[in-house]
Amino acid sequence: MFRGTRSRLVKRLWKHRIYKNEAESTIEKQEDMELRSVAHSLLKRLKEKNLDTLIEAVESQGGVKTECVHIPKGDVRFGRKTVTPQLLCCQIWRWPDVSNPDELKKMPECVSQEDATTICCNPFHWSRIIVPDMPPPPYCQAVEDTEKDPEPPDRLQEEPCSTETGNTPLTRQRYYSGEHIRNEGATERSHWCHVAYWELRQRVGRLYTVFDHHLDIFHSLPQGNGMCLKSLLPETSIEQVKRTREKISFGVTLSKEGDGVWVYNRSTYPVFVNSPTLDDPDSRLSTIRKVPQGFSIKIFDYEQSEILRLTRKPGIDEGPYDPHAIRLSFAKGWGAKYSRQFITSCPCWIEILLTEEDGR
């Protein structure tokens, strides 16, 4: 009976395997048979509780927050090759084309990093890293946006303005010339950023203060804690906004880590990001990075930010440029490669406003 239950769980998992192309789903090849054998051998090493967890993660496509699936560290032989357990699981249920464990990065909720004897093989506790195709710049000034107000915002005002919408106030806690400016409701607890949610040129809801090292931003899922956009959303008659709202789904995870700020795309659609440390140093145009489903990227680099600060030319603060502001759009891109020239034309987007202390 035990063997029968385990066999059913393994078959149920195998039904959700991701194939490289449609032909492979109907024509069993030798490599596919070897993979099946290796996968079944791996799954036999898991307890029934872990199999249940793996099924929940795979069937929800990561929409449900699940526990780690621990397995003893050690490579698994696959034909003439050896693979790590986490790489094998990611090949089976997420990315058939991933070939190197160095392409993978643990999600913030994965706690197995503190365990020296086991590794987590839950494929939805891993993301694929996007490495920029050029080094971050020592200095780059954002191109002027003709949609913005002609006069730059006063950097010393108590309600700083968004870098993207001119005179729209953003009440947030920031540090200017060493002066600690408190916003309404601020506490003594340390925070590292605020998040503002926008639809086109209109900010929706209040500014969200982030204290924990990582934050989930999602549309309406009940699982987990974080910034639920549906709780901020009024009814809208704008059709493009309605359609994009539906695409946010699982959303993204923001994570403050030792080397910078990372974003993990948990949505089923790509997200698009821009920040000062991702820009091309040889161009006056802002660089927009596309982050596909399941991928992650470092959206703010502390070391490069410090270089930017030290090498910033006089007058760099004139205009809408903010060295501590990151912009992320859901499902829709903007810039030179897209029909939308400015992020203020994107239906749903967020602005991540780092404190200068944490932005270095």
Q: Is residue 290 part of a domain?
A: yes
Domain count within the chain: 2
Q: Is residue 150 part of a domain?
A: no
The domain of 244 spans 174-354
Q: Is residue 161 part of a domain?
A: no
Q: Is residue 306 part of a domain?
A: yes
Q: Is residue 164 part of a domain?
A: no
As averages over each run of 10 residues, the pLDDT of the chain (360 residues) reads 72 86 55 78 87 94 90 80 89 92 92 79 95 46 34 34 53 30 48 96 94 92 80 86 93 94 95 90 80 96 85 55 90 92 96 77
Q: How far is CA 355 from CA 85, 175, 267, 318, in A?
A: 39, 7, 27, 19
Res 126: pLDDT: 96
Find the CATH number of the domain harbouring 62: 3.90.520.10
Res 360: pLDDT: 53
Same domain, 97 and 215: no
Res 188: pLDDT: 54
Res 19: pLDDT: 80
Same domain, 183 and 72: no
Determine if the pTM surpasses 0.75: yes
Res 319: pLDDT: 46
Find the CATH number of the domain harbouring 217: 2.60.200.10
Q: Is residue 243 part of a domain?
A: yes
Q: Is residue 16 part of a domain?
A: yes
Res 197: pLDDT: 96
Same domain, 205 and 348: yes
Q: Is residue 168 part of a domain?
A: no
